[in-house]
Structure formats: C-alpha cells, structure tokens
Amino acid sequence: MSFNDKTTASDGGSLTRHKKYPPAAVLIMMASVLCLLPLLVTPVLPLIDFYAHIARYFALGHAAQDPWIAENYKPLWRLLPNLGLDALGTGIMMVFPPLLGAKVIAALIILAPFVGSLSLAKVVHGRIAPLHVALAGLLTYSFILAWGFSNFLFGLGIAMGATAVWIATTFQPRLQLVTGMVFGVVIMLVHGLVFGLWGLMLFWVEVMLVRQAMPLSIPNIAWRILRLGVLTILPLVIFFQTKTAGAEGGVTNAIANFGGYIENGQMWPRLIEELWQRGDSFLRVAESSYPVLDRLFGVLLWGSLAAGFVTRRFTLDQRLRAAVVFFALMVVIMPPNLFGVGHLDERIPLILLALIAAGIKTQPMAPSSSQRIQTFFGLLFVVHIAMVSIGWAKGAKEYDKFLTATEKLDQGGLAQTQFFGETKQRDKGRFCKSLLFLILLQKGSAVPTFANPTQQPIEITGPLARSLEAQRIHKETLPESHDAVSLEALKKSGFRTVVTCDDPQLAPVHGQTHLVAKGRSWSLYQMP
C-alpha cells in the first residue's frame, strides 16, 4: 500500500493520508534518527539506574580478563527472569568501549517500545500513519527511561511486537501457538513481569476476538482460554526453576503495608499520597529533564487524547479496546511491588500509551481536520525530543568534568557514593547517581551495583563484599538523624574513592583525604 492514499478501516474508522506526508518507511526512519539525537549531546546519559546495569554488564564481560574485577564480582549465569538484556548487554560491553557500549544499549531500549508499538499498529490497521509514528515516538523518552529500567523497556518492546504477531496469525492457529510460545519464553527471560503483563494484554485481545465471533459459543471461548494457558506452561516452568521464584518478598506487600497504615491511623494520608504519586507518574509518562514542564506536557498530551476520544474524533481498533480500558484501570490499582520489582505502578502508564499509540485511528473527517491532528501530535513529538536534548545538553559539561577528574584516580580499588540532603529524591539526584559507576568503567574500581543473585546473574564477593558489610555495621551504630556515613567511616570500611552528592559544603576531610575535583552537585575524593 502507498502512504499517499486514503484507506478506510473495516470497522468504519479511517486514517486519512495526505500527499504532504512522506511514505511510512521514511517517516519511521526520520523519527528513529530524531529519537537518537539526545544520545549525541552528552557523554553520559542522566538515567538513574541505567549505569548501575551497565556496570554489571561491564563486570560480567571483563571478569575473565581483569583479576581485580574477578576478585569482587562472581558471574552466576543461570536461568533468571531478567537474563535476556544481561546476556546481550554483556556481549556489547565486551566489544565496544564502555561509554559507547552504554549508548548502544541505550539506543536499543529507547527504540524497542517505539518499534514494538509501530509493529502492532501495522498489523491492526494494515499501515502506519503519521499519528502512530508521533505517539510511538513519545514512548522513547519516558518516566521509566529516566529511572533507567532497561530490562523492562526492552521487554515491553518485544511484548508489543509479540502481540502484533499473535494478532497477525489469528487465522493460522498452529503458527500462532508456536510463535506465541517462543515469544513467551523470550519475554520471560528478558523481564518476568512484562511476561505477566503481556499475558493480560493477550487475554483482553482474545476477549474482543471472542466477542466479535459469530456465533458466540462456549467451546470457542474454552478453546481460546486453553490456548492462552498453553503459552504460560514453559515460561512458568522456567520461572519456578529460578532463584527469583523463591526470593523473600516475592508477592506484593501492599496489603500488609496498608494494614499497618490502618492500625497507625495513617491510611487516608498514605492513600492520598499514593494517588498523588500515581497521578504524577501518569502526567510524566513522556519525560525530559524539566519536571514542571513535563507535567504540563502530560496534561496537554493526555488531555488532547481524551478530548479526541470524547468528541469521537478518535477511536481504537476493536481488538485493543478492552486492553486499553484494563490498563487504564491498572494505573490506579496496580500494586507498587511484585516479586521484588519496585515502581511497578509507575510503569503502567507507559504500557497504556503504547497500546493507544498502536490502536488509535481517526474517525472519517475532512482532510484538513485530519491533517491538523496529525501535525499537532507530530509537533508534540518534536518538542518532546527537543526538550530532552536541551535538558541533557545542559549537564554535558559536568559529565565531561567528572570524566576528566576520574583520569587522576588510581587504577582499581574500591569506590562508594555518599548522599547528602535531597539527593535521595528522584529528581534531585538524577544527575549524580550515575557517577559512581563511571569510576568502574573508567578506572576498573569495584563499586556496589545491582547484584542480587535472585534477580541478576552476578554476586558481589571479595574485598567489596567485606567493605559493604563493614559499612552496613557502621551505619547501624549511627543516630537516625545521620543522612549517610562520613568519609572517615567509608575509609575505615575499605573504600578509597568516594563520590559525594548534593554536599551543601565540602564534606569533613579526615586524615589525608584528598579532594580530587568538585562540580555543581558532586565532589570526588580519594584516600591513600
């Protein structure tokens, strides 16, 4: 199909094509390039947990060649729900220089939801319209990317693509079942909870397909439910063979927490706070580096979509309607934690937007009206990427300064971070929280990172493990008013390099502690 005609959907909806728009392939390529531009404006990406994952991939990839890394990190390759991106990321970090490898991995997780949503749009509509490209583009820089949740984003992209394949093979039941089983295993090994959310997505797709089937029969319903059940068998067998299945706190503790709030008379304040946080993450689904502007952008985005649906200018493909309604409800009721995965409720708005981006279509209208709508959302996409690029570029000089400072550090050793003031808050500490992991990438220093053997294929051992335990013991002896252990305490615990974040004044210097460099929100110390 050409992108320059008008096509009417089978259910009466339409997405009008105009000659002024390039072919779909050209639009997608242009949007993809635009999505990657922010990666070029800064040497380090201001993503909270991202470089903690990169540090793990680096350690896994270099343990065999570097004795110091091998002494502090023990690879534990085994079946895990989060294994997929670790395997891929480890390979990338073995091939590319560390900072470039990090950007290659970032490009993958940035583009995965974009490509997944567009693949689903292509299947349900038969083509990809400018509106789909614009909305899918808003998935690339999100509230979840700012957290640095790499496995989730990569898994979400695969899940959207797998949903597209499932729908595309509806009339080829054997092929549908086989490909569904393969995708199920892949998604489980990338992110276990994405697999569960994907299963819910498919369930509601099947509900709508059954609803459309004529005549509606019990055997048909039972057969579809059975087929979905078959998809879960192998992934669940794999899951229950993993360490994650037996981890403490595997099931949500939300009910227990609220029981405590009720007992302490704090239920309503806590409930109001929880709803406020969910509303905030909902508005900031497409995020740059400006919290206030991002909230206003979210009001404009969700408000425009809601207005379009209320006025019936927009509709959704019938097969995705129930899934969209379900995930809209999940924005409110999703538990914050499941199986050791936190911030789960904050991830749901991104899934909701991905489904809307794939399923949306305009009702028949005048070509000029359709053109204005497509142009409006296209401009939102371009403005969003510009906001991200400008925000990230502002921190580039500080990252360059820190990377230059790391050249003065000794090779190897142990490094740790000390947080002050409001740095523990997400927005306040977003820049500084990645700095510690750069010391591992640049100088081979051992640093604490995500290394829970029930979640990741690595374990912290040796001197780093002993120093972390000494630090933990010392923290327990400090008064509760202390924000963090002092530099002296870190030195006694065995750490020789320390990054301080949001230090209102130079932290107390003890003995021969040396200030290597100081930036706008960080200080770098080294001790003999």
Q: How is 367-413 classified by DSSP, letter by letter?
A: HHHHHHHHHHHHHHHHHHHHHHHHHHHHTHHHHHHHHHHHTTSPSS-
Query: Which residues, 6 or more positions from 528, have their beta carbon under 8 angstroms from its beta carbon?
Result: 496, 512, 514
- pLDDT at position 503 is 65
| Nearest C-alpha neighbor of 353 from the set 195, 31, 137, 184 | 137
- Closest by CA to 475, choosing from 461, 489, 494, 457, is 489
Give residue 519's Cα distance to chain centre: 28
d(CA 245, CA 236): 10
Q: Count Cα atoms within 13 angstroms, Cβ side, for 364.
A: 8
Predicted pLDDT of residue 2:
32
Does residue 43 have a cis bond before it (omega within 30 degrees)? no
Residues 44 and 438: beta-carbon distance below 8 Å: yes
The pLDDT value recorded for residue 367 is 74
Say whether pLDDT at 101 is over 90: yes
The type of residue at 331 is: V
Give the angle subtended at the CA of 33 by the CAs of 27 and 37, to the nearest 5°: 140
- Mean pLDDT along residues 121-146: 95
Place of tokens 């029930």: 454
Q: With CA atoms as reference, report the closest residue to 328 among 284, 282, 260.
A: 282
Q: Residue 451: which of 80, 192, 144, 98 has the closest Cα?
A: 80
Question: Is it the case that residue 252 has pLDDT exceeding 60?
Answer: no
The answer to whether the CB of 199 falls within 8 A of the CB of 228 is: yes
Band of pLDDT at residue 68, cut at 50, 70 and 90: very high
Cβ neighbours for 306, distance < 8 A, ≥ 6 positions apart: none
* Closest by Cα among 242, 180, 241 to 206: 180
User: What 8-state DSSP symbol labels residue 338?
Assistant: B
More confident call, 513 vs 285: 285
pLDDT of residue 350: 96
Please report which helix (H) or strand (E) contains residue 8, including its range: strand 7-8
Cα 484 to its chain centre, rounded Å, is 28
pLDDT tens for each residue of 47-63:
999 999 999 999 999 99
- Torsion angle of the four alpha carbons 477, 479, 484, 487, in this order, in degrees rounded to the nearest 10: -60
pLDDT tens track for 427-450: 666 788 899 999 999 999 999 999
pLDDT at 422 over 70: no
Rounded CA separation 229/184 (Å): 11
Confidence at 455, pLDDT banded by 50, 70, 90? confident
pLDDT tens digits, one per residue of 387-419: 999 999 999 999 999 999 999 998 999 999 988
The pLDDT score that the predictor gives to residue 340 is: 58
pTM of the model: 0.88
What pLDDT is attached to residue 391? 94
Q: DSSP letter string over 15-52?
A: E---TTSPPHHHHHHHHHHHHHGGGGS-SS---TTHHH
Using alpha carbons, select from 372, 369, 443 the residue that is nearest to residue 402. Answer: 443
In the prediction, which pLDDT does 336 show?
66
Question: What is the pLDDT, as a whole number, of residue 277?
Answer: 83
Picking from 117, 160, 122, 168, the residue whose alpha carbon sits closest to that of residue 139 is: 117
Does the pLDDT of residue 8 top 70, yes or no? no
In one-letter notation, the amino acid at residue 519 is G
The confidence score (pLDDT) of residue 10 equals 36
Listed range (63-67, 99-103, 332-336) with the worst mean pLDDT: 332-336
Nearest C-alpha neighbor of 134 from the set 390, 362, 368:
362
Cα 81 to Cα 456: distance, rounded to the nearest angstrom: 9
Chain centre distance of CA 114: 13
Q: What percentage of the chain reaches a pLDDT higher than 90?
A: 58
Q: Of all helices (H) and strands (E), which one includes residue 186?
A: helix 173-190
Radius of gyration of the chain (CA): 25
**522 phi and psi, to 5 degrees?**
-145, 155
Pairing of strands 360-362, 7-8: unpaired
Model pLDDT for residues 149-175, shown as the tens digit of each residue: 999 999 999 999 999 999 999 989 899
Per-residue pLDDT of 172-230, as tens digits, reads: 989 999 999 999 999 999 998 899 999 999 999 998 888 776 666 777 778 888 888 88
Q: What is the mean pLDDT of residues 306-322?
A: 94
Given this model, what pLDDT does residue 297 score? Answer: 96
Provide, rounded to the nearest whole percent, the portion of the chain with pLDDT above 70: 83
Q: Which of 13-17, 499-503, 513-517 has the lowest mean pLDDT?
A: 13-17
What average pLDDT does the chain have? 85
Q: Which tokens belong to 353?
A: 């937007």
Residue-level pLDDT at 420: 78
Q: Mean per-residue pLDDT for 116-122?
A: 97
- Selection from 304, 429, 334, 350 nearest residue 110 by Cα: 350
Given a cut of 70, whether residue 337 has pLDDT beyond it is no
